[in-house]
Amino acid sequence: MSKKPIGVIGAGSFGSAIANILAEKNEVLLYARNSETIKNIAQKKENRGHKLHTNVIPTSDLAYLAHSCDIIFPIVPSSAFRQMMQQLSPYLHPYHILIHGTKGLDIHLPEGESIDTIKKLGREHIRTMSEVIMDESVVIRVGCLAGPNLAKEMAANHPAATVVASHYKEVIREGEKLLRNDRFQVYGNHDLIGIELAGVLKNIIAIASGALSGLGLGENAKGLLISRGMVEMIHVGKAMGGDVHAFVGLAGVGDLVATCNSTLSRNYTVGYRLAKGETLDDILADMEEVAEGVNTVRIVKRFIGNQKLRAPITEALYEVLFEGLTVDKALQLLMRYPYNVDIDFL
């Protein structure tokens, strides 16, 4: 029996990096929307300046991909995720396994409402990517990838690790089998929602961390931010249905430390440039890829408005991003915030 190829949807830098790792053991079908990208991959085995493994074959045909592959890794920005799933869904069957790598949220509102008009943004309106997959398709063997996986470092073959989370051992097992190699370690976790949320919420703190660096502040400030950021992630994460444990592992604190110190992170970069005085519009206009954190801040801010919950970092960032508060002012605000309990979640 010939082995079926593995599918990857989305040829961004993370999608390409995952495709490369998968290609060490299997043939990989990589879906890209852009015909230029496909041509580049097919002819030069190259994408975004990075070499791609010879086992990676580009395609622009979702039907063909779904038909050829039993296991698919969708890795597209959250803003395009639902639409992509709607296109893919007719070709999916319950035997498919989907493991996504998108650290963002989707909102699903009643007809005619938008995030700005809806009175109460509740958990029922917010979807993690695994929930989008299950909304839109018959696939229920779903998993996610999360952890400190900066695409550029992965492309450079530096050692790293990831978490594969799913309710199904089968999915974790398959993910492990496909991804694991001697530079890439894979951990399993059963708390799918918790792990997804850890990856999603850490982007907020990453923006804040970039802003601190942009202000030229030192390591004390960063230590403060990371630990308080962690607490905030856990409180928000719990309110959204995640378990504390997910946040203290690789996908939580592991990812948080990596992104909060890295100029390679897009979310970090947004914060950094904000602190340097640029406007959000300008920054987003010349970024090559999506910084999920910006959208996440907006959703989480609206969500906590209805909970008995304060998330000072998120709230302050919201004002910086969307209401013109300067990073300086936001910092002053935060320093005056009456924190008094260090740890109250364990």
Partner 1 sequence: MKPKGNSKHKSYKPILPGTKDWPVVQLSKNRKNFIKRVVEETLVGIKEANPGRQELREELETTLYRERLRIKENPWRVDPSDDYRFWEKVKNQLVELTVEQDAREKEEDILRRVVTRYAHEIAGNFKRTRYRLAREIVKFGFARLLNATRVKRFGAFFRNKYTLRDKIQIRGKVKQLRKLAKQGTVVMVPTHFSNLDSILIGWIIHSLGLPAFIYGAGLNLFNIKIFAYFMNSLGAYKVDRRKKNAIYIDTLKVYSKLAIEEGAHSLFFPGGTRSRSGKIESTLKLGLLGTAMEAQRSIYMKYPDGEARKIFIVPVTINYNFVLEAPALIHEHLKSQGGEKYYIESDEYSTSYNMIKFLIKFFTKGSDISVSIGSGMDLLGNYVDDDGNSIDNHGRFIDTRDYFVSNGEVSIDRQREEEYTRRLSRIIVREFHRINRVFASHLVAFVAFRIWRKKHDKLDLYDFLRLPEEELSISYDEFKEVFSRARQAVLKMKTQNKVNVAAHLKGQLDEVITLGLDNVGMYHSKRPLLRNKAGDIITRDLNTLYYYHNRMDGYDLEKYV
Residues at the site binding partner 1, with contacts judged by CB under 8 A: 1, 70, 89-90, 93-95, 135, 137-138, 140-141, 167-170
For residues 143-180, one letter each, b for 16 or more C-beta atoms within 10 angstroms of the residue's C-beta and e for the rest, the string is bbbbbbbbbbbbbeeeebbbbbbbbeeebbebbeebbb
Closer CB to partner 1, residue 39 or residue 120?
120
Closer CB to partner 1, residue 17 or residue 195?
195
Annotated ligand binding at 147? The verdict is yes
Closer CB to partner 1, residue 143 or residue 210?
143
The count of residues in the chain is 346
Q: How many CA atoms lie within 13 A of 12 on its CB side?
A: 19
Residue type for position 12:
G
Closer CB to partner 1, residue 63 or residue 138?
138
Shortest distance, CB of residue 137 to partner 1, whole angstroms?
8
CA distance 190 to 182: 24
Annotated ligand binding at 222? The verdict is no
Shortest distance, CB of residue 104 to partner 1, whole angstroms?
23
CA distance 174 to 162: 14
Catalytic residue chosen out of the listed positions 4, 119, 169, 202 = 202
Annotated ligand binding at 169? The verdict is no
Q: What are phi and psi of 337, to 5 degrees?
A: -65, 130
- Active site includes 25? no
Shortest distance, CB of residue 251 to partner 1, whole angstroms?
21
Shortest distance, CB of residue 168 to partner 1, whole angstroms?
6
Shortest distance, CB of residue 116 to partner 1, whole angstroms?
25
Closer CB to partner 1, residue 143 or residue 271?
143
Annotated ligand binding at 106? The verdict is no
Q: What is the CA radius of gyration of the chain?
A: 20
Annotated ligand binding at 114? The verdict is no
Q: What are phi and psi of 185, to 5 degrees?
A: -95, 145
Ordered alpha helix ranges (H), the chain: 13-23, 35-44, 62-68, 78-88, 129-136, 151-155, 169-179, 192-214, 219-239, 244-247, 255-260, 266-275, 280-285, 292-304, 312-323, 327-336
β-pairing verdict for 141-146 and 160-166 = antiparallel
Annotated ligand binding at 232? The verdict is no
Binding region for sn-glycerol 3-phosphate: 103, 147, 202, 255, 265-267
Binding region for NADPH: 13-14, 33, 103, 151, 266, 290, 292
Residues recognised as catalytic: 202
Binding region for NAD(+): 10-15, 151, 266
